[in-house]
């Protein structure tokens, strides 16, 4: 028994020394991670303390982190009020629809683009295409929305094309039935280039010997892409799909907020914009916090569910 204890202590000591050795070896690389860790702590973990506001009747001037009788606890009052709200079904439906539409029509675009881009052999042409497709990611959302608004305005290029085919000019962003199309198409254009970067990195990690063997067996480039490239990036596809499912109630609020107006609330009002109006414009901080917490919990449940399905039917998952 004593030998087992001694061996366990020795093993832990060796492991501790190994970890310290790795830290000492990679100390400069770890320093590069420090700004990221600080950013995550300040903007992702520290705000978790504000969850208590969702269960209180918080007003400006009240102690933010109060836990005693001064906290004015109300339990699930704000959650019940949100679920019973006349806007609950509308904003939940709109949020799910926008996320589902992007999942259906936008998720696969960077995958296909990265596979096709990988097949380009002319390096200069390849770099030009990458630069042009990556550029929208680095443009401010305000500028992107400004471009979109100009395109779909009455005098914009989209209306000019519609008129060319016999249609009538109209302010497309004032029509609820067009908002989802405009939002999804512009989001795909804005994100597919940058989204392909991870897939290109995954493709670069595939053993070149597999392609050489396939060519020797007579496989053309299309069959190589289907039977080698696509399976090679499947783990990346699954992980990014899980992340997308885990953000299904976190539609790009900034972009929707810049694009929508009261005339299209019917299809454009999502959880993020409703939280913005109730929290910042109306000053209902506890109610808005409850909405945000509700959204986070639903996202987390969907992520667990999607991860369990992925683990059951594939060998990939987040945990």
Tens of each residue's pLDDT in the chain, 319 residues:
545 444 444 555 556 667 788 888 888 888 888 899 999 999 888 888 888 888 888 887 777 676 666 677 888 999 999 999 999 999 999 999 999 999 999 999 999 999 988 888 888 888 888 889 988 988 889 999 999 999 998 888 898 988 888 888 888 888 888 999 999 999 999 999 999 988 998 998 888 888 888 888 888 888 888 888 888 899 899 999 998 998 888 888 889 999 888 888 888 999 999 999 998 888 888 899 999 999 989 999 999 999 998 888 888 877 7
Distance CA 151, CA 171 (A): 10
pLDDT for the residue 69: 64
Classified by CATH at the fold level, domain 82-313 comes out as: MetI-like fold (1.10.3720)
Distance CA 31, CA 39 (A): 13
Distance CA 161, CA 164 (A): 5
Distance CA 73, CA 62 (A): 12
Tell me the residue ranges of DSSP E strands in 201-255.
none
Q: How many CB atoms lie within 10 A of CB 109?
A: 17
Domain boundaries, the chain: 1-75, 82-313
pLDDT for the residue 217: 82
pLDDT for the residue 73: 83
User: What six digits make up the tokens of 283?
Assistant: 């000053």
Distance CA 192, CA 107 (A): 8
Distance CA 143, CA 38 (A): 29
pLDDT for the residue 10: 53
Using alpha carbons only, give the angle 192, 197, 200 rounded to the nearest 5 degrees: 115
Distance CA 4, CA 255 (A): 61
Handedness of CA 167, 173, 175, 179 (dihedral sign): positive
Contacts 24+ apart (CB under 8 A), 85-94: 87/269, 87/274, 90/265, 90/266, 90/269, 91/269, 91/270, 91/271, 91/273, 91/274, 92/271, 94/267, 94/268, 94/269, 94/270
Distance CA 207, CA 182 (A): 40
Distance CA 49, CA 306 (A): 28
pLDDT for the residue 68: 65
**CA-to-CA dists, residue 80 to 83, 213, 230, 275, 291, angstroms:** 5, 62, 46, 15, 10
**CA-to-CA dists, residue 226 to 144, 222, 229, angstroms:** 34, 6, 6
The greatest distance separating any two alpha carbons of the chain, rounded to the nearest whole angstrom, comes to: 90
Distance CA 280, CA 61 (A): 15
């Amino acid at each position: 028994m004593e030998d087992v204890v001694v061996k366990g202590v020795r093993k832990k000591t060796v492991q501790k020394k190994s970890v310290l050795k790795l830290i000492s070896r990679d100390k400069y690389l770890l320093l590069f991670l420090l700004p990221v860790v600080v950013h995550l702590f300040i903007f992702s973990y520290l705000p978790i303390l504000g969850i208590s506001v969702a269960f209180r009747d918080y007003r400006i001037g009240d102690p933010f982190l109060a836990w005693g009788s001064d906290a004015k606890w109300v339990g699930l009052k704000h959650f019940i009020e949100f679920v019973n709200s006349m806007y609950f079904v509308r904003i939940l439906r709109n949020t799910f629809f926008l996320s589902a539409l992007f999942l259906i029509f936008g998720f696969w675009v960077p995958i296909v683009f990265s596979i096709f881009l990988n097949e380009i052999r002319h390096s200069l042409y390849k770099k030009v295409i990458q630069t042009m497709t990556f550029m929208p990611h680095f443009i401010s959302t305000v500028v992107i929305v400004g471009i979109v608004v100009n395109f779909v305005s009455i005098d914009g290029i989209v209306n000019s094309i519609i008129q060319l085919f016999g249609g009538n000019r109209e302010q497309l962003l004032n029509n609820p039935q067009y908002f989802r199309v405009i939002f999804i198409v512009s989001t795909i254009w804005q994100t597919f280039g940058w989204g392909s970067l991870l897939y290109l990195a995954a493709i670069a990690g595939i053993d070149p010997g597999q392609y050489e063997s396939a060519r020797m067996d007579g496989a053309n480039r299309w069959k190589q892409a289907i039977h080698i490239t696509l399976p090679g990036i499947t783990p990346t596809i699954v992980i990014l799909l899980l992340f997308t499912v885990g953000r299904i109630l976190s539609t790009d609020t900034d972009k929707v907020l810049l694009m929508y107006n009261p005339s299209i609330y019917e299809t454009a009002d999502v959880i993020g914009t409703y939280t913005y109006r109730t929290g910042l414009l109306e000053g209902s901080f506890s109610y808005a916090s409850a909405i945000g917490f509700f959204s986070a919990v639903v996202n987390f449940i969907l992520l667990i569910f999607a991860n369990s399905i992925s683990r059951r039917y594939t060998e990939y998952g987040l945990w």
